[in-house]
Amino acid sequence: MNTQTAITTTIDIKPAVDMVINSLTSKHSRRAYERALNDFLTWWEVEGKPPLVKATVQHYKTEELEKLGLAPSTINLRISAIRKLASEAADNGFMPQEQANGISRIKGVKTSGVRSGNWLNRNQAQALLDAPSTSTLKGIRDRAILAVILGAGLRRSEVASLTFDKIQQREGRWVLIDIMGKGNRVRTVPLPSWVKVAIDEWAEVASLTGGNVFRPMNKGGKITGDHATSQLVYRVVDEYARELGYKDLAAHDLRRTFAKLAHKGGAGVDQIQLTLGHASLKTTERYLGVEQNLTDAPCDRLGLDLSGN
């Protein structure tokens, strides 16, 4: 065994994982990279910790990731995470620089076209909203979660972190105030009345008056914590999407559905941008001199309600 092989097979590479995660500013990126690296290191250990060189990572890419049938974007993200791991490992003395350089030259998978994303039409969105059973505590919670995404266009992380004190009245209507989005942009999000009803019903049956709106529950239907997670929101959307046969529907697709239905209902693009808090919000406001309309908001034009239960 040569010196480089000894280094890469005996050294603990895991401290470099923490360095990679801590170097990222986005919560979503940290979560995605952490999962990618943990999966890779699990595979690496099962394989007997072969030398961490280009050939090993290339083998992982072709024999593990590609054979699993993962999407090119998923494979490319995981390879990107491994490249960054090698770079951090080399910078901190866990790996020879030449080995890290070799890993950095591994190419991703070519993609054909750009995924436009999924969205639901009005009838499909209504069916999803009606899917949870309101005869159980979990069903009432899940309906409220779906209502907040479909009715207010929140990101799943924003749903998970939503607190009761954010729900206030402005200009004669209910809104979510000071919602912190990407890039630390703060916005006010109008709520349609049926979303407020869904939240109130959940709060009443769960006996909640403050703190986080949504809470985790065990299989017995009991609340087990004081705040939800983005993963919980993901699972809720996935559960009912699968039940209805909506293939590959993600929580972000419901945010996209909000925008589509609002626009088809006649809401202006500028108002939708304000509600969603997109990156171009400030530019749009300055260029058009737009002020958010809380009287006739995008969420009022969705055509959804709670009549199915």
268 and 130 belong to one structural domain:
yes
Residue 180 within any structural domain of the chain:
yes
Q: Which long-range contacts (CB under 8 A, 24 or more apart) does 1-10 make?
A: 4/51, 4/53, 4/96, 4/99, 5/51, 7/95, 7/96, 8/51, 8/52, 8/53, 8/95, 8/99, 9/49, 9/50, 9/51
The pLDDT tens digits for 153-186 are 999 999 999 999 999 999 999 999 999 887 778 8
- Written as six digits, the tokens of 84 are 């960054």
207 and 277 belong to one structural domain:
yes
Residue 115 within any structural domain of the chain:
no
Question: Is the pLDDT reported for residue 303 higher than 90?
Answer: no
The pLDDT tens digits for 134-160 are 999 999 999 999 999 999 999 999 999
89 and 127 belong to one structural domain:
no
Rounded-to-integer distance, Cα 284 and Cα 306, Å: 34
Residue 307 within any structural domain of the chain:
no
75 and 170 belong to one structural domain:
no
Domain count, the chain: 2
139 and 80 belong to one structural domain:
no
Rounded-to-integer distance, Cα 15 and Cα 238, Å: 33
Task: Tell me the CB-side half-sphere exposure of residue 227, using CA atoms within 13 A.
Answer: 12
Residue 14: per-residue pLDDT: 74
72 and 128 belong to one structural domain:
no
Residue 94 within any structural domain of the chain:
yes
Residue 6: per-residue pLDDT: 36
54 and 80 belong to one structural domain:
yes
207 and 67 belong to one structural domain:
no
Given 104, 130, 149, the domain boundary residue is 104
CATH number at residue 38: 1.10.150.130
Given 104, 139, 164, the domain boundary residue is 104
198 and 291 belong to one structural domain:
yes
297 and 217 belong to one structural domain:
yes
Question: Is the pLDDT reported for residue 259 higher than 90?
Answer: no
Please report the DSSP string for the chain in residue order. Answer: --HHHHHHHHS--HHHHHHHHHT---HHHHHHHHHHHHHHHHHHHHTT----SHHHHHHHIIIIITTTT--HHHHHHHHHHHHHHHHHHHHTTSS-HHHHHHHHT-------S--------HHHHHHHHH-S-TTSHHHHHHHHHHHHHHHH---HHHHHH-BGGGEEEETTEEEEEEEE-GGG-EEEEE--HHHHHHHHHHHHHHT--SSBS---B-TTS-B--SS--HHHHHHHHHHHHHHHT-TT--HHHHHHHHHHHHHHTT--HHHHHHHHT-TTHHHHHHHHT----SSS-GGGGS---STT-
Mean pLDDT (whole number) for 173-202: 92
Residue 243: per-residue pLDDT: 92
pLDDT tier, 293 (very low <50, low <70, confident <90, very high otherwise): confident
Mean pLDDT (whole number) for 63-90: 86
Range of the domain at 234: 122-301
Residue 116 within any structural domain of the chain:
no
Given 42, 75, 104, the domain boundary residue is 104
Rounded-to-integer distance, Cα 103 and Cα 105, Å: 5
Residue 137: per-residue pLDDT: 96
CATH number at residue 274: 1.10.443.10
Average pLDDT in the chain: 85
Share of residues in the chain with pLDDT > 90 (%): 42
27 and 92 belong to one structural domain:
yes
Residue 195 within any structural domain of the chain:
yes
Give the residue from 130, 132, 148 showing the smallest Cα distance to 140.
Answer: 132
Mean pLDDT (whole number) for 230-258: 90
199 and 291 belong to one structural domain:
yes
The pLDDT tens digits for 47-56 are 888 888 999 9
Residue 25 within any structural domain of the chain:
yes
Residue 292: per-residue pLDDT: 66
